[in-house]
């Protein structure tokens, strides 16, 4: 999955007028996620605080500084699309780059808070918190 900037994602969403089309786009992004091996779908890799099952795995690529890559999956199409957006923003970056991203600002600009259920919004915040926690652990 390619990386993207906040502005690129906002531009993609602004191209779509209706929220029905935006939901379809989110689902399409989720369909582009690489399949996660079944043995990675463990309780240890599951994001707590999500109603749907979401698994998130981190791996680092050597470098100075190291680059972080994420693999993720969900059993919900919409949530899988939200995960894909997070990976587009965060995967392939350094820990410091991930920690400095204002992901919440992106979701405000996309107006997702107005169009997601409360449980999905809470799950999204749990996913963001987990990404940051994993990046913090690898920042040293």
Distance CA 107, CA 33 (A): 19
pLDDT tens figures, 71-104: 999 999 999 999 999 998 899 999 999 999 888 8
Distance CA 54, CA 89 (A): 17
pLDDT at 134 over 80: yes
pLDDT value of position 1: 64
Distance CA 16, CA 23 (A): 10
pTM passes above 0.75: yes
CATH number of 6-137: 3.90.1010.10
Contact in structure between 73 and 83 (CB atoms under 8 Å): yes
Q: Which amino acids are annotated catalytic?
A: 50
Task: Report, as an integer, the average pLDDT of 29-35.
Answer: 91
pLDDT tens figures, 44-70: 999 998 889 999 999 999 888 899 999
Q: What's the CA angle centered on 103, arms 102 and 109, to 5 degrees? A: 95
pLDDT at 109 over 70: yes
Task: Name the DSSP letter for residue 37.
Answer: P
């Amino acid at each position: 999955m390619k990386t993207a900037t906040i502005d690129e994602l906002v531009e993609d969403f602004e191209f779509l007028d209706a929220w029905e089309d935006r939901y379809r786009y989110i689902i399409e992004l989720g369909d582009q996620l690489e399949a996660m091996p079944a043995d990675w779908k463990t309780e240890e890799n599951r994001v707590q605080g999500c109603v749907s099952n979401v698994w998130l795995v981190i791996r680092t690529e050597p470098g100075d500084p190291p680059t972080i890559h994420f693999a993720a999956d969900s059993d919900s199409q919409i949530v899988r699309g939200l995960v894909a957006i997070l990976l587009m923003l965060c995967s392939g970056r350094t820990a410091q780059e991930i920690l400095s991203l204002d992901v919440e600002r992106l979701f405000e600009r996309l107006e997702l808070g107005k169009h997601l259920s409360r449980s999905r919004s809470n799950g999204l915040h749990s996913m963001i918190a987990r990404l940051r926690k994993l990046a913090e652990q690898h920042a040293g």
